[in-house]
Amino acid sequence: MKNRREFLKDAPSAMLAVLGLTTVAAVAVKAADAADAKASGPIDRMRADLQRAMAKPANQRRWAMAIDLRKCVGCEACTVACRSENKTGPGVAYRPVLVESKGTFPAIQRTYTPRPCMHCENPKCLKACPASAIKKTADGIVYVDYESCVGVKACIPACPYGVPRFDEGGYFTDNTPAVQAYEKAAAYEMGVKRPRNMVGKAPMGRMRKCHYCFHRLQSEVLPACTTTCIGHATFFGDLKDKQSLIYELSRSPRVRRLKESAGTKPTTFYLV
């Protein structure tokens, strides 16, 4: 161990060595930080992507979602999380999981396809609505304006994916001793507090659909389906950000989109 005299004697040369390595060290730290962001897991990386995106004007970002069908196990955690987040009633599911079975017992294979809204670049539902109640935000979210919707259901046959659903106003706990309070609790779709407790008052009696959890995005929180997926099969972010995970995934040769021949240009895509 060096004494104080030896330490002071060696200090000038040690300082020069440190100064000479400053630039190299700074580059190494920056590279390590970037590596840590990727190594910390997809959720942490997408949160960082979301924060960057929300710092930009809406017209400079483009939201998109990717679903890896190799990772989806059909648990429907995303469906349940979405129901809880948006207070959807019977017959309304923003993110159902479609199940396809192939083969005969005992050699049966099942595939699971979560189907949120495709948030199309060219949404046919928007054009079909006679009340102009289906609108599109500057960053690409296709949503229903409950104040304008009159429930004529023209958007249902117009959508190639069967996304829009009409809220009839019932409850899952109808015909039981009591309708549960959580079914009447308020949702915050598109940033507006709306209890689901009166027939004829929005969102009851209106068309409903996925909106990528717009209200959560405004608080820099990822969509409910994304954070609850047990297999990390759902990814979300800004397609215009070349540093983002969603942009990286969009360049994969595994990318497929539903019914591309319809010309809707979905921004929700699948990895197969």
Structure confidence at residue 3 (pLDDT): 53
Across 145-172, average pLDDT: 96
Q: Which residue has the higher pLDDT, 147 or 37?
A: 147
User: Is the CB of residue 67 less than 8 Å from the CB of residue 257?
Assistant: no
**How many residues appear in the chain?**
272
Structure tokens of 197?
């407790």
Statement: residue 23 has pLDDT above 80: no
User: Is the CB of residue 243 less than 8 Å from the CB of residue 250?
Assistant: no
Nearest to 223 by CA among 234, 233, 231: 234
Structure confidence at residue 12 (pLDDT): 45
Statement: residue 52 has pLDDT above 60: yes
Point out the least confidently predicted range of 17-26, 99-108, 119-128, 190-199: 17-26
User: Is the CB of residue 189 less than 8 Å from the CB of residue 86?
Assistant: yes
Q: Among the residues of the chain, which ranges form H helices?
A: 4-39, 42-54, 77-86, 124-128, 155-158, 214-217, 224-228, 245-250
Q: Which residue has the higher pLDDT, 23 or 83?
A: 83
Span 202-215, pLDDT tens digits: 999 999 999 999 99
Statement: residue 220 has pLDDT above 90: yes
Statement: residue 79 has pLDDT above 50: yes
Across 97-115, average pLDDT: 94
Radius of gyration of the chain (CA): 25
The DSSP bridge partners found for residue 270 are: 67, 256
Whether pTM > 0.85 for this model: the answer is no
> Position 239: which residue type?
L
> Position 117: which residue type?
C
How would residue 11 be classed by pLDDT, with cut points 50, 70 and 90?
Answer: very low
- CA gap 136, 126 in Å, rounded: 8
- CA gap 196, 193 in Å, rounded: 10
Structure confidence at residue 83 (pLDDT): 97
Structure confidence at residue 6 (pLDDT): 54
Statement: residue 238 has pLDDT above 80: yes
